[in-house]
Amino acid sequence: MDVLGHKLWDLDIFGQGGHDIRLEWSAEGVSALADECAVLVVVDVLSFSTTVDLALMRGSRVLPLPWGGKAATETAATAGAALYDDDGHALRPTSVLRTPPGTLLALPSPNGATLCATAADTGAKVLTGCLRNAKAVAELARAVAKGEPVGVIAAGERWGVDILAEPGTVGPLRPCVEDHLGAGAIVDALIALGLERPSPEAAQAARAFRAAGPDVGAVVAGSASGKELINGGHRGDVELAIAVNRSQVAPYLVDGAFQNVAAR
């Protein structure tokens, strides 16, 4: 309880009830929106959602795995999924361009993949989207929701991620520009499809995306997350991530793995 005697966690408020499109951040956002949203769309532009888009574009499927310890390696081995590319690097957007069609890829990450697994545990239908496929993902989300609310989850980044950490021990949330814009692109596309009642949180993200206009890519590349990747030698990953609506792929979680499903 707070000093006024009110609940600090009131799902009637934080679930953004009464809106067709809702937006929140990270795992707490999944918890807040899952009860009323038929569909949850996880947005992790740099780089989980972008990697999934490109992998599915090549005919692969992607198994999203929670982050931490040896669990991802063991789960990938059990599923018969590839966890690394041919050069032994963790899967990234540029690396999946070499993946043979039909490959089952295991993709752990502290943000996007972990949140997809968390969202699936709620019983919601789970999609993942990014700037590349915002319109395609919005079309599928609308079709799958069948008139029920759609929740968009901006993944955000984490402070102090440790590759050896156990699940749940990564650092606190760092809200980030790229996921706010990616979520806004999907909300904007949902509004264009006729979902008329976005929550203020969702509407503001859509406004940010529209305001960025043709400069969206430059904004993402110039953000802290973009600079981190570029300075680390991964400019190609950023360039793939900022190709707005270049893709028609709509990643839908089916039996634990993402596959490309066209809107019906």
Residue whose tokens read 């979520």: 183
Instruction: Say what the pLDDT of residue 70 is.
Output: 76
Asked if 136 contacts 248 with a C-beta cutoff of 8 angstroms, the reply is: yes
166-175: pLDDT as tens digits: 555 568 899 9
DSSP letter (8 states) at residue 68: S
Q: Alpha-carbon distance 178 to 28, whole Å? A: 19
Interval 78-102: pLDDT, tens? 999 998 777 676 789 999 998 899 9
Termini Cα distance of the chain:
45
Question: How many residues can be counted in the chain?
Answer: 264
Instruction: State the Cα–Cα distance between residues 259 and 144, nearest whole angstrom.
Output: 14
User: Does the structure show a pLDDT above 50 at 30?
Assistant: yes
The model's pLDDT over 127-153, given as tens digits with 9 standing for 90+, comes to 999 999 999 999 999 999 999 999 999
Q: How confident is the model at residue 7 (pLDDT cuts 50, 70, 90)?
A: very low
Please report the pLDDT score of residue 201 as a whole number: 98
Distances (CA, A) of 110 to 64, 74, 167, 183, 216: 11, 17, 8, 18, 24
Contacts of 146 (CB under 8 A, 6+ apart): 38
Average pLDDT, the chain: 91
Judge contact between 260 and 249, C-beta under 8 A. yes
72: Cβ contacts below 8 Å, ≥ 6 apart = 65, 66, 83, 106, 108
pTM: 0.92
Q: Is pLDDT above 80 for 2?
A: no
Q: Cβ of 173: how many Cβ atoms within 10 Å?
A: 18
Mean pLDDT (whole number) for 235-263: 95
Is residue 242 predicted with pLDDT exceeding 70?
yes
CB 133 within 8 A of CB 247: yes
Alpha-carbon distance of 19 to 198, in angstroms, equals: 5
Bigger pLDDT: 100 vs 238: 238
The DSSP call for residue 80 is: T
Residues 182-223: tens digit of each pLDDT: 999 999 999 999 999 999 999 999 999 999 999 999 999 999
